[in-house]
Structure formats: C-alpha cells, structure tokens
Structure 1
Amino acid sequence: EAIAIAAAYADEWPLLVLCPTALRDNWRNELLKWVPRLCSSGVTVVKDSSSELCTSNGRRQAFVVTYGLLPRLVANGHLHAGQFRVVCADESHMLKTAGAQRTQSALPILREATRAICLSGTPVLSRPAEVCIMTRPCDSTSCWSHDNFLHTALAHHPPTPVHMPPIAPSAGLILESTIMIRRLKEQVLSQMLPEKRREIIHVAVARDSRQELSALLSQRSAIVSAMSDPNLSREQLARAKSDQQALTARLCKLTGVAKVCT
C-alpha cells in the first residue's frame, strides 16, 4: 500500500525510503516488483555514509536509506531537507524519541517533503508525547503543536510523576479524521492474503567452523541432558542454564557468520 501511494505521486519522484537495516533489501525487491518502470539500477540501497545520492534520473529513481546510516549522511551533507519530495518512513515508531539522532535527522526531511508516508504496526497506547513526535511529519495545521495535542490527549486523565494515562478517545478521533489510516487486524485478516511460507535454507559452512559448530552442539546436548538430573542443586541448575545460554549465543554467532558469507 505504501508503494502504491508513493507511485501515485511518481511525477514528484525520486523517492526516498527510510527503514531499519533488516528491511532495506526487502524494500528494494518490493519496489522492483510493484513499480514496473523501475529497472534494477533505478533502486539504490545506500550502504555507505560517503555515498552521493545522485538524483539525475528523477522519476525513475528510488533510494533506500537505513535509520542507522541516516544521521551520518545528513552530517556529511549528502542528504538534506528538501532534497526529496516523496519520502516514506517505514517502522516510523523508531522516530518517537525527540532527542534521538535519527529523529532529529529524519524529521526535517519528512517535513520538507511534499508527500510524507509514515508506516507503523506498533501500538502506541499510553504515551501521547511520542504520538505527537511521530505525527509531526504529517503536520500541516497549527492544531498539531506539542502542547495542544497533549492537552487534547490528556484532557480527562492528567499525568502523574509515575503514571502516563492512555490517549483519550478524542485524540484518536483527531488522528483518524486527519492524517492516520488505521487498519485493524480483523480487517487485514479478511483479505486474500497469501499463506505463510516456511522453508529451510541450507548454507555452506567452512570446515573449521563446521568442526567448532559440531563441538558446541555436543557440549550443549551434554548440558541439556545434565539439566534433567533431579539431584542437581539450585546453584548447579543455574550454572547449567547460564552455560547453555552462552553456548547458544556462540552458536548464533557462528551460524550468522556462515549466512553472511553465503
């Protein structure tokens, strides 16, 4: 849906997508899938803070920038407010903290864009201040000032030093009647969504790593077997659990290295 909205304003491209690192390649694949006029060279996944964002191809270009890289690109002068007219911020709840570098870097870019699309599936139930920050990119009226929104959101439930009350229904109505499209789970599940695919992907592992993996798996099996002994003391059981967690972390690291190399 976000790609469809962005594509509706293709005359204002190039497009900038802000997203977490884990989603950058997925965004590239989905853009190539759903925007036929984009060729593979038209979607750039920026991976270096020294990279120049060349927008000479205009309407046939899209750039994907991660939140981690964003502050450095801004600091280096390679990305600035007003450079992109269509900007999409995926997982926009990552911009909820006003003092964070990525928030301070992203908000001017989103505010200066002609079209700002913010996506989030994370509920915000009890922190109106964070909602106010997250909605700033779509703010086009004076009613969205920080103080005005908090006054509306907390009208019936003043905060205390230890408790922040939930957002008042009136604030929710303001959001839904102006800038927010809310999709409930039951609405999404009723659509013709594709079934989940589960598959095992085999990766090649170097011989030395394979030997280390085998040794770690043997150690882990021995610990799990020992933990089933009913005669273990509480201290011994706690130590065994700690050793199991440490071995699991080492296994995750080794398998991660194998996946990166693949």
Structure 2
Amino acid sequence: MATKVFNKFYGKEKLSGKCVLLSQDRFCVKLNGFSEEAIVIFKTIPSRSYDPKSRIWNFHIKDYALLLSKLQTLQAKLSIDKLPGFVLNCIKKTQNEVTVDFTKIDPVLASALMPFQLEGVSFGIDKLGRCLIGDDMGLGKTFQALAIANYYMDDWPLLIVTTASMRAIWEETIRNYLPSVSIMQVQYMVSGKDYIGEAKILIVSHDMMTRCLDMLLTRGFGILIIDESHVLKNFKSKCFNASLALAKRAKRVLLLSGTPALSRPSELFTQLSLIDNKFFGSFYEFSKRYCDGKQTQFGWDASGNSNLEELEIILAKKFMIRRTKEDVLKMLPSKQQEVITLDTKLEEFSEQDRNCLIALAKKI
C-alpha cells in the first residue's frame, strides 16, 4: 500500500494513489485513503473488478488511459502515480511465437537438452541472446547458456566469466557436448601475459576479468556469459564496471544465477543493467518503484521492496526465466544408485595396518 502522505489544498487533505501492474493485462489503483468520488469513477470503467479482501479496484490495461482521464477531474483532491513508461512499453510489446532452428546447435548438445532446458534456450533466443537464466542449482544453466551461445556462433569469440571452482565444469561440458569446437580453441586465462588472440572460447575468473579488462576489450568478444552473476550486486565494484564495459561491446549477454536476489530488488538492478542498461532509466527510478526507495538522514535508502508483483511480470516478460526443481521435477531423470567396489581390499593391508584401522573404527 502506498505510504500515507497528505498534501494540503485549501485546508483539506489531498489523497494520493498509485497504479500498479497485477498481470500482463490488468492493473490496480492503490489509494492511501477513502475517496467516494474516486469509487464512483471506478464503477464507470467497463473492465472494473473489486477485490473484497484487499479492498482494491483493478482494471484491464486497455482501460488505463480512460481511467486516468476520468481521474483527472479529481486532481485537486487526488494525485495518482501513473504506471512508468518502461512498464507500459514492456507489456505493450507483442509476444511473437519463437521458432528456433535447433539444427544451428551442435547435435550432441541439442540432443542432451531436456524439455524445460529447450524452453530456456527458446527464451534466450527470443530475447536475442540477452537474458538472465535464474534456474535452481542443478537444472543445467551451463547447458542452456552454451546452447544459446552456440546458436549465435557467428558472433563469437565467446567469453565465459566464472568462478575458479566452476572452470572444470565449463571445460568438461564444452569438450563433451561441443565437439564441433576444437579443444585447442578453448583457453583458460591465468595471467595478463597469456596470448588470447586465437581463442574461440575464453574462460576467465571474475578477478581476471577485472585485472585484464583492456586486453579483453581489445579482443572484442561478441558473446558474454557471466556465471554466478549475483556477485555483481554492487554497482560501485570494479568487477561490475568491468562487466558493464564488456556487456556494452557484446552483442549477446547471458547471465546465470541460481540466487538472483528476488528478496532484495536493489541487488537485481546491476544484473539487469548488463542486459539492457537503458530500460529502467536509472537506479533512482528503479529503486523508487521496486525498492521502496526514500530519502533518509543517512542518504537514499533502497534496502526495502515494493511492487514485487509488477517487477516479477517485467522480469518474466523482458529479462529472466526462472524454474525451481519443484517446477520441473517430472522432467528430471530418475535418480540412479550405483555400487562401486573398491579395488583395494582390506586383506591386502598388512596385519599392523589392519589392526590400526580397526582401532580407529572403534574410536569413531
């Protein structure tokens, strides 16, 4: 609910309200007080609907302009915050049915993708290779990102920014599922002295990306994959600014994170700005709308959250696809149990070693 703030107009209290998106085709008007005149106007709108639980009126988006024009007659008594321009532009954009030519993806990789992963690939291609894959851990974000990057292979070289612990996973996945790419063209950068001029796929750590930014910019990567993108939540950090410089040069930007920080929207802004740094206008506009941003004696406070339903609609429409394990449980392969027999047998130990092991087992 909007914060209750009253302005004086000829000695009377002036109410305020806010338009908020509820779905792709409905919005509501949240008032900070009772206005009989506003309700009279609400009842004249053809698509009106009243929720008795929340006591809030909502309408079809096609009646948005009509409602605002009628509420204009109450401007002396009621001020309304309109839907931001980026919200209207986003929901007005028609969703075209995407036909993905999966023959452009390496057959080995394409055949390994499960149905929900194919959906993720289609989403990424629909967004022209600029999106955030926010699936839970273990749902194959690596496979989906590589498939999208492979689809846009004409825009390579490809830069993969990841953690040191994930380096081996990326290298193994590329080796096993992208046989069309020679292993000699896949390189892991370990220092600023490395020659990267012939690498089709370059894997770097977040720290190495920051330290060797000029070198990476010179190479001119057309596709950028940033793994664990939630580490870029601080827009003042060197790592984020390095990512932003690379993202502005790249034609495709794929972000991967199992924890994209939906509970604190302010941490999403940096990631979303890598995908489209002009969409929200500025952090101030974003935080005012979705972080309950307000001025305090300590400065601008954007640690809260507001209008999360609307933000989730914008994310799903424009930026992000996210599935949990519960969402895709039926599509996951069954768990397999395997008994591994060790070659080394206890009898092969010396009597002294056996006695030592038995003694240790009794202490546990």
TM-score range, shorter chain: 0.5 to 0.7
* Bigger-Rg structure (1/2): 2
In the alignment, the residues of structure 1 paired with residue 234 and residue 328 of structure 2 have an alpha-carbon distance, to the nearest angstrom, of: 29
State the one-letter code of the partner of 2:212.
L
Q: After the TM superposition, which residues 15-30 of structure 1 pair with which residues of structure 2 at under 5 Å, given as runs?
A: 15-30=158-173
Q: After the TM superposition, which residues 101-250 of structure 1 pair with which residues of structure 2 at under 5 Å, given as runs?
A: 101-139=238-276, 141-154=278-291, 164-167=303-306, 168-193=308-333, 195=335
State the one-letter code of the partner of 2:309.
P
Query: Unaligned regions of 5+ residues in structure 2, if any?
Result: 1-143, 343-359
Greater percentage in strand: 2
In the alignment, the residues of structure 2 paired with residue 163 and residue 190 of structure 1 have an alpha-carbon distance, to the nearest angstrom, of: 39
- Secondary structure of the residue aligned to 1:177 is helix
Q: Percent identity?
A: 26
Shift, 1:73, TM fit:
1.2
Q: Deviations over 1:195-240 (max 9, x none)?
A: 378899x9xxxxxxxxxxxxxxxxx99xx99xxxxxxxxxxxxxxx
Mark the CA change 1:194 to 1:102 in structure 2 (over 3 Å): closer, same or farther. farther
State the one-letter code of the partner of 2:151.
A
Mark the CA change 1:123 to 1:87 in structure 2 (over 3 Å): closer, same or farther. closer
Mark the CA change 1:111 to 1:82 in structure 2 (over 3 Å): closer, same or farther. farther
In the alignment, the residues of structure 1 paired with residue 161 and residue 223 of structure 2 have an alpha-carbon distance, to the nearest angstrom, of: 11
* Aligned residue number for residue 209 of structure 2: 70
* Aligned residue number for residue 236 of structure 2: 99
Shift, 1:4, TM fit:
0.7
Larger mean Cα displacement after TM superposition, 162-171 or 184-193: 162-171
Shift, 1:81, TM fit:
7.0
Structure having greater relative contact order (Cα 8 Å, sep ≥ 6): 2
Given that 1:111 and 1:136 are in contact with CA atoms closer than 8 Å, whether structure 2 keeps it comes out as: no
Greater percentage in helix: 1
Given that 2:197 and 2:219 are in contact with CA atoms closer than 8 Å, whether structure 1 keeps it comes out as: no
State the one-letter code of the partner of 2:333.
L
Given that 1:89 and 1:118 are in contact with CA atoms closer than 8 Å, whether structure 2 keeps it comes out as: yes
Aligned length: 202
Mark the CA change 1:103 to 1:45 in structure 2 (over 3 Å): closer, same or farther. same
State the one-letter code of the partner of 1:184.
T
In the alignment, the residues of structure 1 paired with residue 246 and residue 302 of structure 2 have an alpha-carbon distance, to the nearest angstrom, of: 33
In the alignment, the residues of structure 2 paired with residue 80 and residue 10 of structure 1 have an alpha-carbon distance, to the nearest angstrom, of: 19
Given that 1:152 and 1:170 are in contact with CA atoms closer than 8 Å, whether structure 2 keeps it comes out as: no
In the alignment, the residues of structure 1 paired with residue 279 and residue 246 of structure 2 have an alpha-carbon distance, to the nearest angstrom, of: 19
Shift, 1:138, TM fit:
0.6
> Is 1:42 matched up with 2:185?
yes
* Aligned residue number for residue 4 of structure 1: 147
